Amino acid sequence: MIVSLMNSTARPIFPFTAIVGQEEMKLALALNVIDPKIGGVIIMGDRGTGKSTTIRAITDILPEIEVVKDDPFNSHPVDSELMSEEIRLKIESGFTLDTVSKKVIMVDLPLGATEDRVCGTIDIEKALTDGVKAFEPGLLARANRGILYVDEVNLLDDHLVDVLLDSAASGWNTVEREGISIRHPARFVLVGSGNPEEGELRPQLLDRFGMHSEIKTVKDPELRVQIVEQRSDFDKDPLAALSRYETQQQEFRNKLVKAQEILPKVNISYDLRVKISKVCSELDVDGLRGDIVTNRASKAYAAYNGRTEVLSTDIKAIISMCLRHRLRKDPLEVIDSGEKVQKTFGKIFGESL
């Protein structure tokens, strides 16, 4: 039975399965939804290439999650890693908590956001006078178990980017003021986007993103016409456009749910893991993040295709997105970083490209 993906009271979102010409970006987002521990994705490309549209579209298609009712952190009713301290203590004390199902939230982080707005604030006066930890949750609290989207991430203050990446990596946000400390879950998929012409991210920050998607303006005239017509049809009658793609949307949603279910069972052989590390070593990738992310993403890609064993073709499909942003920049090199990764992959894995 197909559950309707349309809600007449909500603002219609362009259907994810209708987006064409940006397959790498769509795949990177899907893999991070399947396994948020991949570490998020940074999408760099030209203006007007559908970055924001695609991110909103995948959020809209995600299955609903079960949360503790009226909890500002979207606490999971069972998993202690995804619930606040207050909820955990209530459960340990034997309280029965009401739960509700809600759509996965996408939190937009504005460029001018302050650290207090992002992390949350502690009301020191209330804490001292009433003896309670008065905490005003920030954007990281709202984003727990959802997607945190930062447009123009390359223009965001480096300190704030560090805060976001630390929370995304640990899954927790800690706020400390005047000796008072509050800690809450902040497990989200971090998605950053930007235009390289407006400035690059520092290599140290770039390396912290799990995957990198490079998107360019579609050149094929027929495909451009198709994209324009799709957008025009949607703007004229959003509900009719959503209805046309409802079956495909539901199939894609089911594919994500199935992938999340089989991910813990996916295995990657020792031989393939060694080859991944050889590629990273050959490319002179600093640290071990490249190895870890490539292993995770290849397992997520195998699960995405309904398999429990990683093949070399799975690694080939995702390795450029996992490593291209970790390579040292050589201003004299004319080869594209993604091509360099694929060339090294072919050499190590013995495959002709």
Q: Which of 174, 165, 230 is nearest to 192 (CA)?
A: 165
Q: How far apart are CA 303 and CA 260, in angstroms?
A: 7
Contact 158, 166 (CB under 8 A): no
- Out of 56, 142, 289, 326, the active site residue is 289
Q: Which of 177, 84, 182, 72 is nearest to 125 (CA)?
A: 177
Q: How far apart are CA 155 and CA 222, in angstroms?
A: 34
Q: Is 282 helix (H, G, I), strand (E, B) or coil?
A: helix
Q: Which of 57, 21, 53 is nearest to 224 (CA)?
A: 21
Q: How far apart are CA 90 and CA 112, in angstroms?
A: 37
Q: CB count, 10 Å around CB of 185?
A: 27
Q: Is 289 designated active site? A: yes
| Ranges assigned E (strand) in 79-210 | 99-102, 106-108, 120-122, 135-137, 147-151, 172-177, 180-185, 189-194
Active site (catalytic) residues: 289
